[in-house]
Each structure stands twice: as structure tokens, then as C-alpha cells.
Amino acid sequence: MNTKWDPDILADVEYFSAEHFTNKKYVINGIRADHKVLEDYLICGEHFYIEQDKIFANKKYKTFIRFITPEAYPHSLWVGKIISIQR
């Protein structure tokens, strides 16, 4: 892996439409977005797209994500969990 930090998770990330890119057709590595890990809790996370410098809408990408404060929600993530990502 060619990142400067250790990720918290490896995820399949899919953006559903170009509207989520604030009028851009793609987003680039290093984007920080809010992740709804609990029903009442959003946490910021930084994305690193594997073998991609930028990603486009309506496709799935393998993504490493590093959360800013993962200790704030222990035992809240597991394999198969779907997390809403808000930008």
C-alpha cells in the first residue's frame, strides 16, 4: 500500500451520482467525508482509492479509509456493514 498512514478499514465505496461531487465529475484521493457509523453519530474519514487517483460516479472502488477518532465508537464496524457517506 502506498499511503502515508495506516487505514482503519478497507471498503467498497460507490458514489451514486455526480450530484454528490458538488458539480464535479469525480473526486480525488484524500477526500474527507462524514461517515454515519452509528444512527446518531457522524465521523470524518479520509479516503485513499486503490490504484486510482480519482473516482467517478456510479462505480464501485476499493478504498482504504482512515477515521479521525475511531476510538469514539468501539465495536461499531464489522464486515458487511453499510455506512452512509456524506460529503
From first to last of its 87 residues, the chain has per-residue pLDDT tens of 444 678 999 999 887 765 555 556 788 889 999 999 888 888 999 999 998 888 888 888 999 999 998 888 888 889 999 998 886
What confidence score (pLDDT) does residue 56 get? Answer: 84
Let me know if residue 45 belongs to a domain: yes
Neighbours of 14 (CB within 10 A): 13
Can you give the residue range of the structural domain that contains 80? 9-86
Let me know if residue 74 belongs to a domain: yes
Cα–Cα dist 15/68, whole Å: 21
On whether the pTM is more than 0.95, the answer is no
What confidence score (pLDDT) does residue 23 get? Answer: 56
Cα–Cα dist 24/41, whole Å: 27
Q: E strand or H helix at 38, and its extent? A: strand 32-38
Neighbours of 11 (CB within 10 A): 21
CATH (domain of 49)? 2.40.30
Let me know if residue 14 belongs to a domain: yes
The domain total for the chain is: 1
Let me know if residue 2 belongs to a domain: no
